[in-house]
Amino acid sequence: AQRVTQPEKLLSVFKGAPVELKCNYSYSGSPELFWYVQYSRQRLQLLLRHISRESIKGFTADLNKGETSFHLKKPFAQEEDSAMYYCALSPNAGGTSYGKLTFGQGTILTVHP
């Protein structure tokens, strides 16, 4: 069974400080990993996925298969980054469960001025 763990329920940093939101997963195959974000009064939306290897809004995330982690990082946090962040996993393509997302519990990031 697949599982996603976000160990920090709350994370607070000051503007301009580096931020790292942790995500660990368990899955027997090669998963696809995602970060979704929900800003205040907005819908949940995709921030980035590991296969695209993009940097979105200054955020990056590297899939570390050895440590089974997909931590989200940003070198200089901004106040507008304050939001709820969810890490999610999908089984790899080709399987019957491809596209079926398992979400972590979420981390509320607060960036103070």
Q: Which is nearer to another protein, 4 or 19 (CB)?
A: 4
Q: Which is nearer to another protein, 64 or 92 (CB)?
A: 92
Half-sphere exposure of 106 (CA within 13 A, CB side): 11
Task: Please give the residue ranges that form the binding site for another protein (CB under 8 A).
Answer: 4, 6, 9, 32, 42-46, 49, 86, 90, 93, 98-106
| Smallest gap from residue 15 Cβ to another protein (A) | 27
| Smallest gap from residue 72 Cβ to another protein (A) | 15
Q: Which is nearer to another protein, 94 or 113 (CB)?
A: 94
